Amino acid sequence: MTKFKEFYQRMIANNDKLFDDFIKLHRDYSINQDNLQERFNKEGAKVVAVIREWEGKLCSTSERAGYGSYTSNLSEKFWEEVRKNFPLIDYVGVIVKNKPSEDKNDFNIRKIKL
């Protein structure tokens, strides 16, 4: 098993309650995004923090081993693994402002809070 997959499995195993709850929320959010956006942001922030923590652990072990130039690729592969199981993870932090539009051609772009 590759290193990033091993770290992904360890992350899920060490935080099984958090990820089990997030899987259910993620499924519900994929069906009804408008009504669950605030809850998805709140719970998703905790999940993203854990993911970033484990990403840091993964990359730091590679940097200490002398493979610092490969850590960006390793990080991307780790996030691809996360997105494979949670395709809407990038929607965590999206702010939706509902204001009545007077113009039918007016459109809103969802913004990601960084």
What contacts 5, CB < 8 A, 6 or more positions away? Answer: 81
Burial label for 94, CB within 10 Å (0-12, 13-18, 19+), is middle
pLDDT tens per residue across span 65-104: 666 667 788 899 999 999 999 999 999 988 877 655 555 6
Q: What is the pTM of this model?
A: 0.77
| Angle, in degrees to the nearest 10, between helices 71-85 and 3-14 | 50
Contact 34, 88 (CB under 8 A): no
pLDDT tens per residue across span 11-69: 999 999 999 999 999 999 999 988 899 999 999 999 999 999 999 998 887 666 666 66
d(CA 109, CA 25): 23
What contacts 9, CB < 8 A, 6 or more positions away? Answer: 1
